Structures are given as C-alpha cells and as structure tokens.
Structure 1
Amino acid sequence: MAHRWDPDRYLTYADERGRPFVELVARIGAAEPRTVVDLGCGPGNLTALLADRWPGASVTGLDSSPEMIERARAAGARVAFGVADLREWVSTGSTGDEAASTDEDLVDVLVSNATLQWVPGHLDLLGGLVGRVRPGGWFAFQVPGNFDEPSHTIRRDLAAGSPYAEHTRDVAVPSSHDPAVYLDRLAALGCTVDAWETTYLHVLTGEDPVFAWVSGTGARPTLQALPDDLRADFEEEFKRRLRAAYPQHHYGVVLPFRRIFVVARTPE
C-alpha cells in the first residue's frame, strides 16, 4: 500500500529537521538565480527560506504527497507549489545523463532535502538531476545517513518478525550512501563537488520522543502497512525498545542523527 505523509506529525520537530536544510543552502554560491526548485519540498516551510534567500527568483516547491502540498499552499508563501514525482520530473525534458532539450526545462538552483533516500536506485538518477540544471548552476541535496542506528534497526527487526512480516515486507524503506560515493559520481559528471557529513545530537523532550520522531518519517510506511489489530502492539513494543536504546536524561533524550550533504556546481 502507498503510505501517506502527515504534515502535522512531520513538523513536530520542525526546528531540528530544518537545521540541515539551512546549513545545506548556506553552501550554495548562487548570487542571482532566475529559477529555483525544491524537489521534495514537504510542507513548504523550508521552501519559503529559498524565496527569502533569492527574492528575485521564481521559486517552485514540488512533492509527491498531495497532503504535503496542500499544507504548503495553505501557508501562503511566495512560492509556487505542485504535486510531482521526482523520477518523472527528472525525465521531463531530459534523458539519462544528457542535458534537458530546451532552456525552459533547466533551473539555476536545484535543492532536494531529505528526499532522495526514499527513491530506490537514486544514485543512478544523479545524472538526470544534473541534466536539469543550467551549466554553471547548483545542485544541492541532503540525505540521512543513520540507517544503522537503533531508531531504524529496531523497526526493521521488529517488522521482520511474526505476525508483522507478512504486512511489512514490501513497505518503502529509506537508504543512502556515504558522501564519498556521491562525490565520486557527481565528479564523474563534471561537477565541482563539496560533500560532507554531520552528526547532530538532538535533545528531545516529551513522551517517547524518538518514536514521535521516527513515526513521522522513516517508520511511517511500516506503521501504516499494519492492520489496526496489530499496530497497537507493534507500537508499544517499538516504544519499549526505543526507550531502552535512547535513555532518558534529566535534560531529555539524545538522538544522534548523521546526515550527508552534497553541493555540486554543474560544468559550464
């Protein structure tokens, strides 16, 4: 079954989720771009920052989730929002590693924040994404790199057992590569690449905060795939194991979160 995103749940930790976006965009050297696209814009709260950064640009936010785009449009930002699948957007006007066929297909700045990890085989899409950027333009993306952490391995191990496996075996699961892999692939395409990683130590508060975090992102497809009569038990055991893996301190619960950043300048 196709999962649906919940903008309110996703925005529970909006500040923590937004910080990598801000740090990614800060490394983009574009001065006065004409067209800026946020591919996988979610609820649009961060896309609005692109309009602030480049007030003279035409800024567009695209996401495959109608729920996210509905929320983004309701915010009334100075941005055009639309529903679009990343893979289809890549193929519009360009094929493979070739540049888009007309200038109208090209953008000056392409940003994709915490999205590519949901696209299987996204490494092979990098050529097409670069092909949608004007020569000398900028392509920047950020993906999580924490898939070996308990927040993911606990969900994976629990979902693989009975009685859950028959419902969860085909759910969407995010994945990414190390920064050196992205650097090598984009450099082979002629780009000048700045790639790095950062591990944030998010201090979370509230009841079962790590579960609240992952239930809005990485664990959401799994939770939605479970029938109602199994979901409650799954969630309770998931929470119990997360509490053991991420203990409560007097100042909150620490969630280490590794993220991968890439900023590429396309060849002139």
Structure 2
Amino acid sequence: MWNPDVYLTYADHRGRPFFDLLARVGVRAPRRIADLGCGPGNLTETLAQRWPGAVVEALDSSPEMVEAARNRGLDARVGDVRDWVPAPDTDLLVSNATLHWVPEHPELLARWAAQLAAGAWIAFQVPGNFDAPSHRAVRDLVTSPRWADVLRGFPFETSEVVRSAADYAALLTDAGCRVDAWETTYVHELTGPDPVLEWIRGTTLRPVRAALSDADWARFREELIPALDAAYPARPDGITFFPFRRIFVVAQVK
C-alpha cells in the first residue's frame, strides 16, 4: 500500500527530477501524454498545464495513489505498466521514478519504442542510489537475527534492477531512437527529526511497514535510526544533506 500523504512529505525534492527530465523533451503540441506511475498526480497535473491541448492519461498500480490523482481531476486508472499499450496518438510517454519497480522494464522500453509512432518521445528517470548508505542500513537490519524471520521475503531494492545511463542509451538506440541519457546526484537539504527515515518511509520501507505490527514497526524504526544518523549526521544548524543519484533518459522514435 502506498500512502500519498507520506510520499508527498518531500514533494518539492521528489518533484525536481521530474522537471529536469521534462526540460529535455522537445515535443511541442502532443496529442496524448501517458504518465506511467503517476503517483498522487501532483506532477501529472503539470503536464496538462504545460500542454493544455493534450489528452493526459495517468496509470498507477496503487489504488490509493490513483484515488489521490482523481481527486485532482485527472483521468487516472489502476493498472500495471507491463500491460500498458500506447494509443495510436500517444506523442509522449513519461515515467517518473517507477520503472525500477519492474525488473523487466528494459524489455518494456524496447517494446514501447516499437509501438509508438515516429516522432514520439519517451522520457523516464529512475533512482540509482540502491547502494547508498540508507539502503545498506535497511538491508543490514532486515537480515539481522532479530528481524530475518519476521521479514523473510523482503523485496530488496538492488542496483542490479537499474541499468546505467549508457546501457539505456544503447538499448533505445538499438530500438530505433535518438537518445539523450545522463545522471545527476542531487544533494537534498533535509530538516526535522529523522529526515532520512521519513524520506525512505514513503518508498523503500513500505514493505517493512506492511509486514510489521505497530509495536514491531516502532522497534524497527528505533534500531534503524542510529545507523541512518551515523551515515547522514545532522549539522549543528539542523540541516541533513542527503545525496541521491538518479538516471535520466529522453528518447525520440526516429
């Protein structure tokens, strides 16, 4: 289960890569835009504002996220990106921080490039921070003797799921696209109590929270916080710097 309110805690930080991605898209008057993994719709609605003449369709696997998107007036529906097929008039496919949840997404990208019309655009970004101290701390705790049995089967996020920018560029070039691929490490300035925990609580820690009782979740948090504090110490002024690497790809079908 996704919690839109928790996810939106750092909406400004999470939104910046979306706008950096879209800044490299050159489509002028798209007829249809598909946002795959639309989340609560706060970013999807900016697509309609930028291209008011386009039909904007939104898809997400979370009913909670889709409900939040619909509350913003968006045409959102629950679905799996693996089943999505572009309509003939789709001129822009956007996917923001979604495809890393789908291990077979490289095959999907090649398939979509073949299904989209000439001139259509594909734009996506995925996290590239799965070996960061935050993720290592979660993996270490989940596999510790205290939690290994309780959290057996925890779906680890690993760097093996996400390709390099060069790999994505090669994949989509071979699929018949012109490609612009790059990566950026953002240094997010976070404040407040346990800010890194609050960040990953909305994404990486969702399966942990779903598997634990309220009491166990409180204990898990208490054990995780010292590791996060050691990896990301707060400055005397209360600021915690949180580096976050992301991979971006913008491609146009030839």
Corresponding position of 2:76: 81
Structure 1 residue 120 and structure 2 residue 117: aligned? no
Corresponding position of 1:261: 248
Corresponding position of 2:36: 39
Structure 1 residue 141 and structure 2 residue 124: aligned? yes
Change (3 A) 1:162 1:105: farther
- Report matched runs for 1:1-268 at 5 Å: 4-76=1-73, 79-89=74-84, 92=85, 104-105=87-88, 107-174=90-157, 175-249=161-235, 250-267=237-254
Shift of residue 86, structure 1, vs aligned partner? 0.7
The amino acid that maps onto 2:17 is P
Q: Deviations over 1:156-181 (max 9, x none)?
A: 11111223223434233334121111
The amino acid that maps onto 2:76 is F
1:110 touches 1:133 (CA, 8 Å); kept in 2?
A: no
Mind listing any 5+ residue stretches in structure 2 that lack a counterpart?
none
Shift of residue 105, structure 1, vs aligned partner? 4.4
2:88 touches 2:117 (CA, 8 Å); kept in 1?
A: no
- For residues 246 and 120 of structure 1, the distance between their equivalents in structure 2, rounded to whole angstroms, comes to 29
- Taking structure 2 as the reference length, what is the TM-score of the superposition? 0.94
Over aligned residue pairs, what C-alpha RMSD do you find?
1.5
- The alignment of Structure 1 onto Structure 2 pairs a total of residues equal to 250
Shift of residue 60, structure 1, vs aligned partner? 1.0
2:192 touches 2:238 (CA, 8 Å); kept in 1?
A: no
Runs of 4+ in 1 over 4 A off after TM superposition: none
- For residues 50 and 156 of structure 2, the distance between their equivalents in structure 1, rounded to whole angstroms, comes to 33
Shift of residue 130, structure 1, vs aligned partner? 1.8
- Find the residue that maps to 1:166 and give its secondary structure: coil
Shift of residue 126, structure 1, vs aligned partner? 1.4
- Taking structure 1 as the reference length, what is the TM-score of the superposition? 0.89
Shift of residue 43, structure 1, vs aligned partner? 0.1
- For residues 82 and 109 of structure 1, the distance between their equivalents in structure 2, rounded to whole angstroms, comes to 18
- For residues 124 and 167 of structure 1, the distance between their equivalents in structure 2, rounded to whole angstroms, comes to 34
Percent identity, please. 53
Change (3 A) 1:170 1:132: farther
Change (3 A) 1:22 1:49: same
Q: Deviations over 1:121-172 (max 9, x none)?
A: 3222211222342211000000000111011110011111223223434233
The amino acid that maps onto 1:149 is A
Mind listing any 5+ residue stretches in structure 1 that lack a counterpart?
93-99
